[in-house]
Structure 1
Amino acid sequence: MQRRITVVLPTHPARVRNGMTKRAVGSVLGQTLPAAAVVVEQDLDRAGAAATRHRGLMKVTTEWVAFLDSDDQMKPNHLAELMACAERTGADYCFSWYEAIGFGHDPLPHFGKVFDPEHPTQTTITTLVRTGLAQAVGFREPPPGARIHGERYGEDFQFTVECIAQGGRIVHHPRRTWIWNAHGQNTSGQPDRGDAAT
């Protein structure tokens, strides 16, 4: 494996049609630390975000993988800052924070708090992770309605918890390096979650 970064970006047809995927890819291509590759994995069979992200992850051959949902954007310094954080701290998994657009408030109250693996909190999936660790853990849908530590247990939080179980060191980089866009739709494209994102 080479010491470079691949960005995995799961999407579905509605987000290709409405331009969100193009916008997200454009933000990756505009990084000050260029990605070695971008894997855009499209959910054509309505398998869901976890399965789509997992398929993309399994195609990665670089040492590091970064994730971005197709409705969000990286600020130009996102990859550079996360890679610098990983190198400085020896982390296996680094996450920064977001500028929330369209929420009216910060959806998660954890910005700036040191990550505690004994009491993990939501990080979102917009992270930088050693590929070996990420591929060992992978992505799958948790049971419906699952919760952990009082929080919704989505596939992204499940991934974080399982990275800890594998011995991964997680570090929070307290900078807002990406944009989280709210529009009321889920990334999965499943019939019960809506795929007509606007």
Structure 2
Amino acid sequence: MSSGPQVSVVIPYHPARAENGMLYRAMDSVSLQTVPNALVTVEDEQCQGAARTRQRGLEMVTTEWMAFLDSDDEMDYTHLEQLLACAEREHADYVYPWFRVAGGVDPFPMFFGRPWDDAAPHQTTITILVRTDLARQVGFTDVAAGPPPPDGNTGGEDWHFTLGCLAAGARIVHHPARTWTWHHGPQNSSGRPGRGDARTP
């Protein structure tokens, strides 16, 4: 692998995540990665939500690949290395790993280890590796009209981003390893303003 950054990691956050230290835990997990990376943090100053904040971060990326991490989560130190290796091996445009859950339970246990099927798309979370040009082509919007995910949830910007990548012809591949920690708890905002610690005073 080259010595320069191959991937940028975009972390959207709202002010409470800086105040309570979660943002710095997420940033530290990126700094410990075994491959060079460029970190892009984007503050949601106006409580617009994760979709619009991620979109602003996406527009700052200059590397071939990009990854996303929510500000209350953290990557294992080989997370990016494993995903880049999988992308190269599988000639993929979009790679999603799996997670361990802290403070809750896995809401999608049926999808871990199941190979991606274009004919039966499902939730992947947004902690993925994706080609930057593909991500720019698809972009992030607030929850849009479209089919709901098959797990009974209402879907959101993550789900519609995945559907957009699929519609754009992306090769989506599952890396069946738990390479990051998804923190659940009362502060979890699910990327939406007005929920959890994203509530304005």
TM-score by length of 1: 0.92
Q: How does 1:1-198 map to 2 (within 5 A)?
A: 4-35=6-37, 37-103=38-104, 105-109=105-109, 110-143=111-144, 147-149=148-150, 150-184=152-186, 185-188=188-191, 190-191=193-194, 193-195=195-197
Answer 1 or 2: which has greater strand percent.
1
User: Per the alignment, do residues 38 and 194 of structure 1 end up closer, same or farther by CA in structure 2, a change over 3 Å counting?
Assistant: same
Query: Partner of 1:106: helix, strand, or coil?
Result: coil
Which whole-Å CA distance do the structure 1 matches of 2:70 and 2:55 have between them?
13
Post-superposition shift, 1:146? 7.1
In structure 2, runs of 5+ residues without a counterpart are none
In 2: Cα distance, 1:175 partner to 1:157 partner: 20
RMSD: 1.9
| Separation of aligned partners in 2, 1:134 and 1:48 | 18
The DSSP-based 3-state class of the residue aligned with 2:161 is helix
Structure 1: gaps of 5 or more residues: none
Q: Report the residue type matching 2:106 in the other structure.
A: D
SS of 1:157's partner is helix
Count of paired positions: 193
The CA deviation at 1:148 is: 3.6
Give the 3 Å change call, closer, same or farther, for CA 21–187 of structure 1 in structure 2: farther
SS at structure 1 position matched to 2:40: strand
- The one-letter amino acid of 1:106's match is D
User: For residues 146-177 of structure 1, what are the alpha-carbon distances to aligned partners after superposition, in whole Å with 9 as ceiling and x for unaligned?
Assistant: 72434422100110010000000000000000
TM-score normalised to structure 2 length: 0.90
| Same amino acid, percent of matched pairs | 51
Deviation at 1:144, TM superposition (A): 8.5
> Contact 1:142/1:153 (CA < 8 Å) preserved in 2?
yes
The answer to whether the Cα contact below 8 Å between 1:11 and 1:187 also exists between their aligned partners in 2 is no
Contact preservation (8 Å) 2:144, 2:157 = no
Deviation at 1:107, TM superposition (A): 1.5
Task: Assess, with a 3 A threshold, how the Cα gap between structure 1 residues 4 and 161 changes in structure 2: closer, same or farther.
Answer: same
Sort the Cα spacing of 1:187 and 1:70 in 2 relative to 1 into closer, same or farther, 3 A.
farther
Residue-by-residue CA offset, 1:107-134 (whole Å, 9 max, x unaligned)? 2121000011111011000000000000
